[in-house]
Amino acid sequence: MRWRPYAGGVERATILYDGDCGFCRWALARILAWDRRRALRPVALQDPEAHALLATVRPEARGASWHLVLPEGAVRSGGAAVPDLARLLPGGAPIAALAGRFPRATDRAYRWVAAHRGRLGRLVGERACSR
């Protein structure tokens, strides 16, 4: 299913992230800085709203990765969310195409970053969570 990125008057996509993770907050800040059209609305996984937004996601999977809830309600998680996220960002079409063409590699890269976010957080000067 293809969908159109944010345009004036259209509901924004929601990006759900681990608010307890320094690296996650750091990465989100970079994504939001790139999001000049304000197509994304951030919500921490710890926020009560996240539970409702992720009602279709298994409870054990809710905290396992970041999630993107598209305007029509579809939920993408982890590496599978990268193509849709990239489509929302100015100049992100090449990244979306690459991530969409190589979904397993994108997911492996996402899982590697998630597994090493503590170390990566220290590299960028953020105290990351220990999960």
- Residue 1, in any domain of the structure: no
55 — pLDDT class (breaks 50, 70, 90) = very high
Rounded to whole angstroms, how far apart are CA atoms 124 and 21? 13
Q: What CATH number corresponds to the domain at position 79?
A: 3.40.30
SS3 label, residue 82: helix
- Residue 128, in any domain of the structure: no
| Total tally of structural domains belonging to the chain | 1
Dump the DSSP string for 18-46: -TT-HHHHHHHHHHHHH-TT--EEEEETT
Query: What pLDDT is recorded for position 86?
Result: 97
Give the residue numbers spanning the domain of 42.
13-123
- Residue 45, in any domain of the structure: yes
Query: What pLDDT is recorded for position 118?
Result: 85
- Residue 52, in any domain of the structure: yes
The pTM of the full predicted model, rounded to 2 decimals, is 0.85
- Specify the higher pLDDT residue, 126 or 69: 69
- Residue 3, in any domain of the structure: no
- Residue 5, in any domain of the structure: no
